[in-house]
Amino acid sequence: MIPIAPDHDGWTVYDAEDLLHPAMTQTEIRAMIVLFGINPIGTRREPGRAGRAPVTYNTTALQVAHAAVIRTRVDLQRIDVA
């Protein structure tokens, strides 16, 4: 689990898919959330959308986890080349 103070304007999985670079799929983001034990900080109701409100996650926690995943991908690519 990544111990980071909660922020009040977290990202949904959909936000993370649009904002993280290099990009990750929603499935990869959800797997990353489970792997790093990132807990939800709330939900965000969007006007005009029916159904369950999407869960939000701490923005910094998602960015730190994303950086770790990307760093690992790069390291693994170096090993494969060598």
Q: Which pLDDT does position 74 carry in this prediction?
A: 83
Q: Which pLDDT does position 82 carry in this prediction?
A: 53
Return the domain boundaries, the chain. Answer: 13-44+54-81
Q: Which pLDDT does position 80 carry in this prediction?
A: 65
Q: What is the pLDDT along the chain (82 residues), one digit of tens a residue?
A: 444 545 557 999 999 999 999 999 999 999 999 999 999 999 988 788 788 889 999 999 999 999 999 998 888 877 765 5
Q: Which pLDDT does position 64 carry in this prediction?
A: 96
Whether the Cβ atoms of residue 24 and residue 17 lie closer than 8 Å to each other: yes
- Of the candidates 53, 50, 12, the one whose C-alpha atom is nearest the C-alpha of residue 30 is 12
What are the strands, taking DSSP E only, across 1-82? 40-43, 55-57
- Check residue 34 and report its DSSP letter: H
Whether the Cβ atoms of residue 12 and residue 56 lie closer than 8 Å to each other: yes
pTM confidence score: 0.79
Which residues are within 8 A (CB) of 59 and not within 5 positions of it... i.e. 6 or more apart? 7, 9, 10, 11
Give the whole-angstrom CA distance, residue 36 versus residue 31. 9
